[in-house]
Structure 1
Amino acid sequence: MKDQDLTITISVDKTPKEAYDAINNVRGWWSEEVKGGTEKLNDEFTYKARDLHRCTLKLTEVVPNQKVVWLVLDNYFSFTKDQTEWKGTKVIFEISEQDDKTQVRFTHQGLVPPHECYEVCSNAWTGYITGSLHNLITTGKGEPNPKES
């Protein structure tokens, strides 16, 4: 059976270190509502998007300039019946050099098409990775969700 985990790959004219630093600047590309550490092994942080989504993640693998892995410890969606869809899944960023460019391969391991949230989540991740994270790496400015008042 073909691997169905959501995977998105971007290439940038920046160094692996610049990509790695941007990935770890979660407030700079995902959400300004992130609370907690987002850079070191075993750091835990929470993400919140209004009353629609909140989750707690833990950094379980950190290889500077090469790989970052987040484990989803807890998750809530206001728009799904099954609240366990993200729990125990992994968000993986793999950084490599390809043809004089830096490649970032994003995989949400465990986010698969049968999930109720798949369409919404895959569209959201695609926007964050190909838009906001890509821009943060290449221009120094991402488009994270703004702080809520």
Structure 2
Amino acid sequence: MKMKTLSTTTKEFGTTLSYSYSFRTKKTAQEIFNLLLNIPAWWSGIFEETIAGPSKQVGDEFEFKAGGGAHYTKQKLIELVPDKRIIWEIRECHLQFVTNHSEWVGTHLQFDIESFVDDTKVTFTHLGLVPQFECFEGCSGAWTQYMEALENNLNT
């Protein structure tokens, strides 16, 4: 049985709430972990994305562009716990569709992977993507699309 929860305001980042999305899959933690480190395998195919740079070891940086240049970010891999957690920090950002183009700078993209007897739970949290951000509605909607695609990929 497929179980999914979607919560846009459940994880705390300081004293504010951040976007989060969780689902369960029959894939192993190792399969999920390896897929997540292959950025184009899960963060592409929706908004004309281009991804450049490595993301396999702590300190690696990659660039993400989407929407015909409307979205640019540079991420640095800051934490890797094999088969359990991956965290990237947004180092640079240019979002053309909001007043504060660098709204994401300093936020974190975090995946937590939990193994259970019959399945594995994947939780994505964009720590710092909070309802107070101008882009919260649009960005959380885009994250939901990416997470649903990842979930479908892992459940097929």
RMSD of aligned Cα (Å): 1.4
Give the aligned partner of residue 94 of structure 1. Answer: 112
Query: Which 4+ runs in 1 deviate beyond 6 A?
Result: none
How many residue pairs match? The answer is: 137
Gaps of 5+ in 2: 1-9
Kindly report which structure 2 residues correspond to 1:1-149, keeping only aligned pairs within 5 A, or say none.
3=12, 4-31=17-44, 33-49=50-66, 50-98=68-116, 100-130=118-148, 132-139=149-156
TM-score, reference length from structure 2: 0.83
C-alpha distance in structure 1 between counterparts of 2:35 and 2:154, whole Å: 6
Q: Which amino acid in 1 is paired with 2:153?
A: L
Cα deviation, residue 99, structure 1 = 5.0
Percent sequence identity over matched residues?
36
Give the 3-state SS of the residue equivalent to 1:65 in structure 2. Answer: coil
Give the 3-state SS of the residue equivalent to 1:7 in structure 2. Answer: strand
Cα deviation, residue 84, structure 1 = 2.5
Residues 86 and 66 of structure 1: CA distance in aligned 2, closer, same or farther (over 3 Å): same
Cα deviation, residue 138, structure 1 = 3.2
For residues 125-145 of structure 1, the C-alpha deviation after alignment (integer angstroms, 9 at most, x for no partner) is: 111012x21233333xxxxxx
Q: Indicate conservation of the 8 Å contact 1:23/1:133, yes or no.
A: no
Higher normalized contact order (CA 8 Å, seq sep 6+, divided by chain length):
1
TM-score, reference length from structure 1: 0.87
Q: Indicate conservation of the 8 Å contact 1:55/1:72, yes or no.
A: yes
